[in-house]
Amino acid sequence: MESFGRALREKGFAYLIVGPFAIVLAFPFYVMFITAFKDQTEFYNPEVTPYWFGKDSPTWANATFLFENTQYPRWLANTAIVGLCVVAITLVLALPAGYALARLAGRVGQSLGVGIFLTYLVPPTLLFIPLFWVINQVNLQNSIWSLVLVYPSFTVPFSTWLLMGFFKTIPKELEDAALVDGASRLKTLTRVVFPISLPGILTVVIFSFSLVVNEFVYAFTFISPSENKMVSTGVYTDLIRGDLPEWGAIMVAALIPSIPLALLYNMFLDRFIAGFTGGAFR
């Protein structure tokens, strides 16, 4: 009976801590959601509570405005193109490297892996000025291809580290069996190792794509014409303008990429943790 009481108290304690944090951390997204579907005159009217809809809401008016009167669809498309290209480049470079660091290179591989990972810590704010200069030299300014070129500089180190962690968790016996059967090492890699690493590869795809959508500094410095902007910069530079920005449309614009990314993030979080720490403390 006493232990039952203690369990109850511990659970109550957990709710007491987690509940308030959850409310505070998720609050901006609640406001985003309410404003996105609220009638414009209502959120500029102090008589209507900002915590809920008024009598003319919910409405699709803000979403309609966003898709018909702004470049938002274009920014979404640009982000998708850059994201897919960056993910492809990342996989081509990080997949073999991650495998080799985990399996073939021994102790040198561990050190080299840490070295590659540390380059992930070199931030865009340190490199954007020289890269801006380079992008101008090669005439890629204002083109989304400048971002396709530069973004792998942070997705590759990050993904190599994650994949290295994943490959370490795959039993070595599987590969040995294939090798004994006479398959070449390259064939073992493409026929045996990569297929069973699919969950890990998917995790890398999602987290690399999410890094691309999150990036602000390069996208902001390299690209100025509205039609070539990314979602991360276009919404801020083009929709927040003048005395009365279209807050409803801005919130719809923020909500659309946030929902799927947040859901995917949560689904793959446990795998992410496994890979992230798997590389560090086997």
Partner 1 sequence: MEALAAARPRGRRWTDVFERPGVLASVLISPAVVFVLVLVGGPLILAIGLSFTNATSGELGGKWVGLANFRNEWSNPSFQHAVWHTFQFTFISQAIVLVGAGLLAHALSKNFRGKWFLRFLILLPWAAPLPLSLMAWKWMFDTSYSIFNWTLVHLNLVDKVDPPQYLAESKLAIGSVIAVHAWRILPFALVIFLAGLASIPKEVDDAAAIDGATGFRKFWSVTLPLQLPIATVALLFGIVFTATDMAVVYILTQGGPPPSFSTEMVTTWAYKTGIESGSLGPGAAISLFLLPVLAVVTILMLLFARKAEVS
Which residue among 41, 64, 119, 190 contacts partner 1 (CB under 8 A)? 119
Tokens, residue 70: 């702004």
| Residue 142 φ/ψ region, left for φ over 0, alpha for ψ in the -120 to 50 degree band, beta for the rest | left
> Is residue 172 a contact point for partner 1 (CB under 8 A)?
no
> Is residue 233 a contact point for partner 1 (CB under 8 A)?
yes
- Please enumerate, as own/partner, the contacts of 205-210 that have beta carbons within 8 Å and a separation of 24 or more: 205/87, 205/91, 206/264, 206/265, 206/268, 207/158, 207/159, 207/162, 207/268, 207/272, 208/86, 208/87, 208/90, 208/155, 208/158, 208/159, 209/83, 209/86, 209/87, 209/261, 210/261, 210/264, 210/265
CB of 208 to partner 1, least distance (A): 13
CB of 68 to partner 1, least distance (A): 20
Q: Using the 8-state DSSP alphabet, how is residue 241 labeled?
A: -
Query: In the window 49-88, what residues touch partner 1 (CB under 8 A)?
Result: 49-51
> Is residue 258 a contact point for partner 1 (CB under 8 A)?
yes
CB of 15 to partner 1, least distance (A): 7
Query: In the window 120-159, what residues touch partner 1 (CB under 8 A)?
Result: 121-134, 136-137, 149-150, 152-153, 156-157
> Is residue 240 a contact point for partner 1 (CB under 8 A)?
yes
> Is residue 226 a contact point for partner 1 (CB under 8 A)?
no
CB of 142 to partner 1, least distance (A): 13
Q: Which residues contact 91 (CB under 8 A, 6 or more apart)?
A: 159, 201, 204, 205
Closer to partner 1 at the Cβ: 130 or 171? 130
CB 86 within 8 A of CB 155: yes
Which residue among 78, 160, 203, 208 contacts partner 1 (CB under 8 A)? 160
Closer to partner 1 at the Cβ: 59 or 132? 132
Closer to partner 1 at the Cβ: 104 or 174? 104
